[in-house]
Amino acid sequence: MKRGWFAIAVAVLTTLGCAGVQVSQDYDPATDFVSLSTFAWATPTQEKTGDPRIDNPLQDTRIRRSVERTLSGKGYRLVTLSKPTFRVRYQYVLRQRINTSGSSGGVGFGVGVGSFGRRGGIAIGTGTGSAVDTYDEASLVIDVIADGSDRMLWRGTGTHRYKAYDDPATATADIDRLVENILAQFPPETK
């Protein structure tokens, strides 16, 4: 019985930990993912975008370390001097999103009486509206490409609401969680 509760608790905590992150993948079904064993970065740094929130060398280091750690945990080995079996690149993209949450309405009713009972009135009022929320959505796209070409083997994407951080440890933990959620799909379970 205790094991059942433990399994439920782990499932709930895992779900809560992934809350707000949507992941997806796409891949070439002709790829022999079993033959992949070593990797290297396709580029030394992320391409500049002109957005200082993205063009951040500290963020680049966080993402790269997290990808390296996660892939190494899956048995892939990072190589720098020998030829890798695949290369990795990433893109971090921000888009502004607008979220409107339905319409809301209300009705008011009032009755009033003037001085000495001479004047009176009835009022009815209505109102409608909708809530508008503007926010930035961040997408981290991780590509696995064939060494020596630009042939895409696998792409994983994680999307969540962007937030700025005051604490590097929190930023690192959130990037780690995002990368782990994306790479949990790699290698894909081919049919």
User: pLDDT tens for residues 98-148?
Assistant: 887 766 566 666 665 555 556 666 666 666 667 787 888 999 999 999 998
In the DSSP assignment, the letter for residue 115 is: G
Question: What is the pLDDT of the chain when averaged over all its residues?
Answer: 84
Res 149 pLDDT > 60: yes
Distances in whole angstroms, Cα of residue 156 to Cα of each of 24, 91, 107, 125: 6, 11, 49, 52
Q: 63 Cβ partners below 8 Å, 6+ apart? A: 46, 90, 92, 140, 175, 179
- Is the separation of the CB atoms in 85 and 147 below 8 Å? yes
Contact 92, 59 (CB under 8 A): yes
Report the percent of the chain where pLDDT is more than 70: 75
- 138 vs 81 pLDDT, higher one: 138
Listing DSSP states for 135-161 in one string gives: EEEEEEEEEEEETTS--EEEEEEEEEE
12-16, 34-38, 95-99: which is most confident:
34-38
CATH class as words, domain 19-97+138-183: alpha beta
pLDDT band at 29 (very low <50, low <70, confident <90, very high): very high
Break the chain into its structural domains and give their ranges. Answer: 19-97+138-183, 100-131
The encoded tokens of residue 52 equal 């200082």
Q: Shortest CA distance to 187 belongs to which of 123, 151, 137, 142?
A: 142
Residue 189 has pLDDT above 60, yes or no: yes
The whole-number pLDDT of residue 4 equals 45
Task: Give the Cα separation of 140 and 28 in Å (integer).
Answer: 20
Gyration radius of the chain's alpha carbons: 26
